Amino acid sequence: MLRFIIRRLFNIVFLLVGISLVSFLVIHLSPGSPLGGVVFNPKVSLEVKAKLTKIYGLDKPLIQQYLDWLRRIVRFDFGVSLLDGRRVIDKIKERIPLTLFINLISLFIIFLIALPLGIIGALKKGSGLDRAITVFVFVGFSFPSFWLALLLMQTLAVHWQIVPVSGLVSVDFPYYSWAGKVWDLARHLVLPIFVSTFGALAGISRYVREEMHTALSSKFIILARAKGLPQRLILLRHALRNALLPVITILGLSVPGLLGGSVIFETIFSLPGMGRLFYEGVMARDYPLIMGLLVIGAVLTLLGNLLADIGYALADPRIRYEAEEK
Amino acid sequence: MGAGVRTLIPILASDSASAEVCSFIFNGLLKYDKDLKLKGDLAESWEIKDGGRTLIFHLRRRVKWQDGVEFSAQDVIFTYQKLVDPRVPTPYSGDFKRISAIKALDKYTVEVKYTHPFAPALASWTMSIIPKHLLEDKDLSKLRFWENPIGTGPYELVRWKHQQLIELRANKNYFEYPPFIERVIFRIIPDSATLFLEVLSQAVDNASLTPLQYVVNAKSALFRKNFLKFRLPSHSFIYLGYNLENPLFSDKKVRRALNFAVDKKEIVKSIYHSQALVSNGPFTPQSWAYSESLKPASYSLEKARRLLEEAGWQDRDGDGILEKEGKKFRFTITTNQGSFLRQKIAEIIQHQLKKVGIGVDIKVVEWSVFIERVINQRNFDAVLLGWSLSFDPDLYDIFYSKKTAPGEFNFVGYNNPEVDKLLLAGRRTFDREKRKAIYTQVARLIYEDQPYMFIAVPYSLSCLHRRFRGVKPARSGYFYNFIDWWVEKQERKYMF
């Protein structure tokens, strides 16, 4: 097992170098430059452009720039953003908590609601209730999130003034008590979390419904029924466990997504998340920032895969043996 | 604000959000007053000598930086040194490169010498002055990010939450007098629809509006009860710039024909909901160089057709598109992605030019690529763009015939020796009336030559909560006297 993990870790390092090289080349070779936004101003002379190019190190050969970047990154130095001169790592660090928090909470709520919906759908497949649930989750799935968000803001925030329109906290947040702060944060996050949850119910509840239905019609459930086990036990212990396996795989795959934000969503709600950071970085060709985000994303994805593989290996002896034979 | 503030070091601020916040914290030697005339700020008065080769600034005495250190001529010289330092990534060194010598005659007097008389120089000294004692030992090429900016201005920084908000508080020792409004908070709200809802819920006191919001949404009772709306011609204009090296556009008659064939009033009405003016040339009504006597050409398909025919363009094969010497009149308008208005304007032009037999394709390109591949490599037939110009009317960089290298701004390739001569004269003339006469002539010649089709000057639209008192809108807007504003006690919303 240890050898398996070590070998995988070794692979990951090579993969990372490869990923970073390809990303670096792609973003540098794509047209446009970090100067684009700064210099389209008649007051900016040609000399200034040459000067900025030099300061940003963009005049060096591409491979030299990559090696410089690599040399820094092995010391965990992500460099400095070209846009505002702040350290890339600081810019990323301040965005992570919010993005992670919103994603975790919505993931939790999605499962909390989608699981029962899926189970009910499977148990009563084809019934009026099943169809009502289907309509409900697909309505959520089909609503454009920005439109739903604006509609909710208009009614809940402008007309009824129950929640604030957008933003993360109120402007006088630092002057609140501890409980006031929690309450303020909660009020601000209600709408964003509702919008991101509502749209995602369909996927998970459909998976659960299908898997549960397959499980319920399999032979071991018929046996359990014949044995006279109570319905609750059949459902929760035997059917659901089997039905959840693929769902847990989906959960595992969503781990790297926990740090990925959504541009539209964050823009509508004026939230400072990872999505906007990445989008702004790309639009401004802020190379160090883009590279930093890509590397972190790659590391998370690879680690997520590794964890999933280890999990499988622990759970399923067949995978473990295959790995060791190779 | 729509975008986050990038830096609070004014000489490095190239985006409008940063510049706006910096203007609350810092002062220049000069500033624009309510009528957009230059007046003293950190400088009490100034003298122009040697026919414009020497400027002498007499500085205000007893001005303190927000940390208590006294402001002096050394700070001015330091700011200049940083502006021209090759290691400092400032986009503003251009005008300051023309300075041949700068020295402090005493603690409160600065003498600046120029190699040639340079009229825009005076306006360049509206640049914010930065504190020598705090930044002297800092490497501004590395430190672009300054967490605790200290200026001389009416407000000082309290907190800066990136991409969320910036909070400022009144500077009790401001050299004029402390502002009445105790706190100013800038929030970053990137989406304009969200911003308007924030306005309606009264969580925001001052915001810019889109034309549609200004005309339609602001009619709601909820809005009118709490807000005043403001409208002012902006300092920018939208134009269609032709690639004058393209044989299609080398004939002035053709360019004038296009100008007759496009109904700008239609664009103003349908795209801007009438919240724009038809442009009459390179100056906007906000500029002192603007001349009302220049009238934009009126819409006339007849004149357009006649001019095109005179230029040799005719539809011989009856397919609805003109041709000349076997070549069809078809060209592409390129514009940048992210501007919904510009794409719509391009579509209207496309539709209107079809009526005189000209085929137009539209290409939309992402901004950074647009600058590098389309503009700098002059890889276009016509571009739909806007200029947002500084208050000084100098157009040298945009229309002087030699400013055509890749990365320079006469990217259409305009060349009129008479305009060249006038542009140079305009830079040497300090007298405002004489300068105005020069630029009126420049505007007339350029409008006649039509290197650009001048389309519209949009209004800048905004709203302000009614509880602010002392607001006196003027030509320069309504923020010039912000330190005089107040809010009645019972109407105050935030207590600190």
- A320 band by pLDDT with thresholds 50, 70 and 90: low
Q: Which residues from A are below 8 Å from B189, CB to CB?
A: 166-167, 270
Range with lowest mean pLDDT among A144-148, B351-355, B434-438: A144-148
Residue A312 in this model has a pLDDT that exceeds 90:
no
Query: Is B89 within 8 Å of A55 when comparing Cβ atoms?
Result: yes
Find the closest chain B residue to A169 by CA distance.
B164
Collapsing DSSP to helix, strand or coil, B225 comes out as helix
Find, in chain B, the residue whose alpha carbon is nearest to that of A38: B14
More confident: A257 or B313: B313
- Check residues B353 and A40 and name the one with the higher pLDDT: B353
Closest CA relative to residue B154, chosen from B167, B126, B173? B173
pLDDT band for position A225 (cuts 50, 70, 90): confident
Please answer yes or no on whether A46 and B371 come within 8 Å at the CB atom: no
Residue B433, Cα to own-chain centre: how many angstroms? 23
Set of chain B residues whose Cβ sits within 8 Å of the Cβ of A86: 145, 162
Query: Is residue A321 predicted with pLDDT exceeding 60?
Result: no
Radius of gyration of chain A (CA): 25
pLDDT for res B5: 86
- Which residue in the set B91, B167, B375 is minimally distant from A44, CB to CB? B91
Contact (CB, 8 A) for B367 and B337? yes
d(CA B247, CA B324): 11
Q: Which residues pair with B28 in a beta bridge?
A: B128
Q: Which CATH superfamily is domain A2-15+95-325 in?
A: MetI-like (1.10.3720.10)
Q: Do B197 and A154 touch (CB under 8 A)?
A: yes
Q: Hey, are the CB atoms on B94 and A45 less than 8 Å from each other?
A: yes
B478 neighbors B471 (Cβ within 8 angstroms)? yes
| Cα Rg, chain B, nearest whole Å | 25
Asked if residue A324 has pLDDT above 60, the reply is no
Mean predicted confidence (pLDDT) in B252-272: 96
Ranking A306-310, B57-61, B415-419, B482-486 by mean pLDDT, the lowest is A306-310
* pLDDT computed for residue B450 by the predictor: 97
Confidence of residue B198 (pLDDT cuts 50, 70, 90): very high
**A97 contacts chain B (CB < 8 A):** no
- Whole-Å CA distances, B303 to B256, B299, B448: 9, 9, 15
Q: What is the DSSP letter of B301?
A: H
What is the per-residue burial (b if ≥16 Cβ within 10 Å, else e) of A92-128? bebbbebbeebbeebbebbbebbbebbbbbbbebeee
Of B7, B198, B372, the CB nearest to A36: B372
The answer to whether the Cβ–Cβ distance between A43 and B189 falls below 8 Å is no
Q: Which of B164, B188, B375, B395 to mutate to test the interface with A (most CBs of A within 10 A)?
A: B164
Report long-range pairs for B429-433 (Cβ below 8 Å, ≥24 apart): B429/B119, B430/B48, B430/B52, B430/B117, B430/B119, B430/B122, B432/B288
Q: What is the distance between the alpha carbons of residues B51 and B117, in angstroms, rounded to a whole number?
A: 7
Most A CBs within 10 Å, among B7, B87, B127, B197, to test the A interface: B197
Domain residue spans of chain A? 2-15+95-325
Query: If you average pLDDT over residues B164-183, what whole number do you get?
Result: 94
pLDDT of residue A300: 82
Distances (CA, A) of A77 to A74, A289, B141: 7, 12, 18
Which residue of chain B is at minimal alpha-carbon distance from A84?
Answer: B6
Which one of A28, A30, A46, A48 would you mutate to disrupt binding with B, by most B Cβ within 10 Å of its Cβ? A48
- In A20-39, the residues whose Cβ lies within 8 Å of chain B are 31-33, 36-39
pLDDT in the model for residue A240: 83
Res A36: pLDDT = 66
Query: Which member of A43, A49, A154 has the closest CB to residue B95?
Result: A43
| Residue in this structure with the two tokens 């914010």, named with its chain if needed | B128
How far is Cα B109 from Cα B97, in angstroms, rounded to an integer?
Answer: 21
The set of residues, in sequence order, having a beta carbon less than 8 Å from that of B208 and lying 6+ positions away, is B195, B460, B461, B462
User: B201 and A171: CB-CB below 8 Å?
Assistant: no
Interface test with A, best of B8, B14, B494 (most A CBs within 10 A): B14
CA distance B355 to chain A (A): 34
Q: A198: which 2 tokens?
A: 């509502």
Q: Taking a contact as any Cβ pair under 8 Å apart, which residues of chain A between 230 and 249 contact chain B?
A: none
Nearest-Cα distance to chain B for A87, in Å, is 9
Query: What would the pLDDT profile of A48-73 be if each residue is shown by its tens digit?
Result: 778 778 878 888 888 899 998 999 88
* Beta-carbon pairs below 8 A across chains A and B: 151
Length of chain A: 326
Q: Which of A166, A184, A266, A282 to mutate to test binding with chain B, by most B CBs within 10 Å of its CB?
A: A166
What is the set of domains in chain B, with CATH numbers?
A: 10-146 (3.90.76.10), 155-233+461-491 (3.40.190.10), 236-458 (3.10.105.10)
CA distance A99 to A194: 15
Q: What is the mean pLDDT of residues B282-297?
A: 92
Cα–Cα dist A54/B457, whole Å: 37
Contact state of B371 with A39 under an 8 Å Cβ cutoff: yes
- Other beta carbons less than 10 A from residue B400's beta carbon: 21
As given in the structure block, the two tokens for residue B56 are 């002498």
What's the rounded mean pLDDT across residues B438-465? 96
Residue B158, pLDDT above cutoff 90: yes
- CA–CA min distance A148, chain B (Å): 12
Percent of chain A with pLDDT over 90: 33
Convert the pLDDT of each residue in A72-81 to its tens digit. Answer: 888 888 988 8
Of chain B, the percentage scoring pLDDT greater than 70 comes to 99
DSSP designation for B155: E
Average pLDDT, chain A: 86
CB A259 within 8 A of CB A107: no
Confidence of residue B146 (pLDDT cuts 50, 70, 90): confident
- Chain A residues inside the 8 Å CB shell of B15: 37
| B474-486 pLDDT, tens digit each | 988 899 999 999 9
- Residues B144-165: what's their mean pLDDT? 88
pLDDT at B448 over 80: yes
Residue (of A194, A191, A201) closest to A142 by Cα position: A201
Instruction: Give contacts of A168 with chain B, Cβ < 8 Å.
Output: 164
Distance CA A177, CA A106 (A): 26
Tell me which residue of A206, A204, A236, A238 sits closest to A108, measured CA to CA. A204
pLDDT of residue B68: 93
Helix (H, G, I), strand (E, B) or coil at B240: strand
A94 contact residues in B (CB cutoff 8 A): 162
Rounded Cα distance, A309 and A311, in Å: 5
Nearest residue, CB atoms, B407 vs list A46, A150, A267 = A46
The dihedrals phi and psi of B184, each to the nearest 5 degrees, come to -130, 125
CA-closest candidate to residue B294, choices B280, B310, B305: B280
- Long-range contacts of range A48-51, CB-CB < 8 Å, 24 or more positions apart? A48/B90, A48/B91, A48/B93, A48/B94, A49/B407, A51/B86, A51/B89, A51/B93
Given a contact cutoff of 8 angstroms between Cβ atoms, the answer to whether B397 and B411 are in contact is no
Tell me whether residues A83 and B6 touch, CB distance under 8 A.
Answer: yes
Taking CB atoms and an 8 Å cutoff, what residues of chain B touch A278? none
Contact B461, B20 (CB under 8 A): no
Choose among A294, A270, A33, A118: nearest CA to B198: A270
Residue A80 tokens, joined: 């400095």
Residues A239-272 have pLDDT tens digits of 887 777 777 777 767 777 777 778 888 999 999 9
| Average of per-residue pLDDT values in chain B | 92
Share of residues in chain B with pLDDT > 90 (%): 77
Instruction: Output the pLDDT for position A241.
Output: 78
User: Is the alpha carbon torsion for A226, A229, A231, A233 positive or negative?
Assistant: negative
Q: Which of B82-86, B450-454, B468-472 has the lowest mean pLDDT?
A: B82-86
Q: Which range in A158-162, B33-37, B332-336 is most confidently predicted, on average pLDDT? A: B332-336
pLDDT tens digits, residue range B368-381?
A: 889 888 998 899 99
What value does the mean pLDDT take over residues A177-189?
93
Nearest-10 Cα torsion for B148, B149, B151, B153: -90
Using CA atoms, how far residue B53 sits from B39, B111, B122, in Å, is 20, 11, 11
Q: Which helix (H) or strand (E) holds B276?
A: strand B276-278
Instruction: Indicate yes or no: CB of B95 within 8 angstroms of CB of A276.
Output: no
CB-nearest to B197 from A83, A157, A272 is: A157
Q: According to the model, what pLDDT value does residue B406 have?
A: 85
Contacts of B126 (CB under 8 A, 6+ apart): B28, B29, B30, B31, B32, B38, B41
Read off the pTM: 0.88
Which whole number is the average pLDDT over B445-470?
A: 96
Calpha distance A119→A138 (Å, rounded):
16
Q: Please report the pLDDT score of residue B148 as a whole number.
A: 86
Q: Where are the beta strands (DSSP E) in B366-483?
A: 382-388, 452-465, 468-469
Residue B424's φ and ψ, nearest 5 degrees, are: -65, -40
Residues B450, B455, B456, CA angle at the centre, nearest 5°?
Answer: 140
**Rounded CA separation B239/B487 (Å):** 41
- Please report the pLDDT score of residue B267 as a whole number: 96
Q: Per-residue confidence at B224, pLDDT binned at 50, 70, 90?
A: very high
B368–A85: do the CB atoms touch at under 8 Å? no
Helix, strand or coil for residue B452?
Answer: strand
Give the angle B327-B333-B338 at the CA atoms, nearest 5°.
Answer: 165
